[in-house]
Structure 1
């Protein structure tokens, strides 16, 4: 496993898309698609992000690595399941951030598990609150990469609750992994460590809302 992560990270840092795709395909011979994403793609990206923080890689490498991975994830994860679950009304968003990979992974896995949900893309606080209320969203999944973005979740939660919206909010992303109490501090209802947990959370909430 560590060998695949190291090789995949090297391919990303050298912008070797063909090499990265080859490693993903090799890993798929022994793991499910979501396991490849969770156990190879995500760890390699996290290591690259840490390397950028210590000045060992350039920001351009971080950006291009993310773009390559987004393309590969789109290929690896199944697009959808014909047996759609239409309730509760759900949405996923990247809040005040530019790294879309985490959202794409969760979105793909949710759809592959039979859920239909709105993909809001990237939004700021005002846009998200307005759209969630207009769409009468019951479950909102928020993805962030940076701490400042994670802290803005508190504004979203407070404003939606002040509006009386019966909404459950789950968060995910690096800041919440680094601080396992942060999701509670910003007022979210739950935190998912990975895409599989996000699916389980929504399934549980669906049963409660039925």
Structure 2
């Protein structure tokens, strides 16, 4: 996936440094100084999201730790919640979204993705962890989910997700499914084999995919 080069403004550099140092106070101050009254979304889109995407790139390069990715997402999520409280009409007009850890109880990856998406201004339902195919299909159909994110840790679970995805596509043909997790990183073609619409290798890449789907859906 082609990504644009990161901005080089003083506020961007400062925000990046603050997040990597887990300096919430400095991050909040930079956001406040960069925000235009009445336009919090612009700050989210031009400062917070690019900073998170750059941290995601650095994690892929091996220059930052996973804990820094997670804490950066949490800090930005908290900041965005003060700027755009959940339910605020200024939040992104978005498709109905949900995320689940399929047949597994390892939640760190999901928590990072949730933090980054919420920091990007999105809201999504959290179906938790350890959910099986039958319950996932039932929940997605009931909630009329338009974008579903599925995380798996082990290959058998990733393979079994194919059945759930097929049923979801049958019940809700326009629903987009994004998968992620170790099995999909190890086998770049696995996401297509299980019938997903996209694979997010990192939280920041998942945010980019969600942004694309939201645009395609006219949100």
Residue 78 of structure 1 is matched in structure 2 by 77
2:73 and 2:119 in contact (8 A); partners too = no
Residue 5 of structure 2 is matched in structure 1 by none
2:138 is the counterpart of 1:130: yes
- SS for the counterpart of 1:200 is helix
2:70 and 2:115 in contact (8 A); partners too = no
The structural deviation recorded for 1:166 is 2.1
1:78 and 1:112 in contact (8 A); partners too = yes
Residue 118 of structure 2 is matched in structure 1 by 111
Tell me which of 162, 174, 184 is aligned to 2:192. Answer: 184
1:85 and 1:135 map into 2 onto residues whose CA distance is 19
Q: Compared with structure 1, are the counterparts of its residues 178 and 42 closer, same or farther at alpha carbon in structure 2 (3 Å cutoff)?
A: same
Residue 49 of structure 1 is matched in structure 2 by none
Q: CA RMSD in A?
A: 3.4
Residue 21 of structure 2 is matched in structure 1 by 25
1:33 and 1:208 map into 2 onto residues whose CA distance is 23
Residue 97 of structure 1 is matched in structure 2 by 104
The structural deviation recorded for 1:164 is 3.9
- TM-score by structure 1 length? 0.67
Residue 35 of structure 2 is matched in structure 1 by none
Ranges in structure 1 where 5+ consecutive residues have no aligned partner: 1-23, 47-65
Residue 19 of structure 1 is matched in structure 2 by none
The structural deviation recorded for 1:134 is 0.4
Cα deviation digits, residues 14-54 of structure 1 (max 9, x gap): xxxxxxxxxx637999xx5665576459969x9xxxxxxxx
1:155 and 1:205 map into 2 onto residues whose CA distance is 23
Cα deviation digits, residues 164-193 of structure 1 (max 9, x gap): 442000001111011000000000000011
Q: Size of the alignment, in residue pairs?
A: 167
1:75 and 1:89 map into 2 onto residues whose CA distance is 22
Cα deviation digits, residues 86-129 of structure 1 (max 9, x gap): 42101111111111011111111101111111111111111110
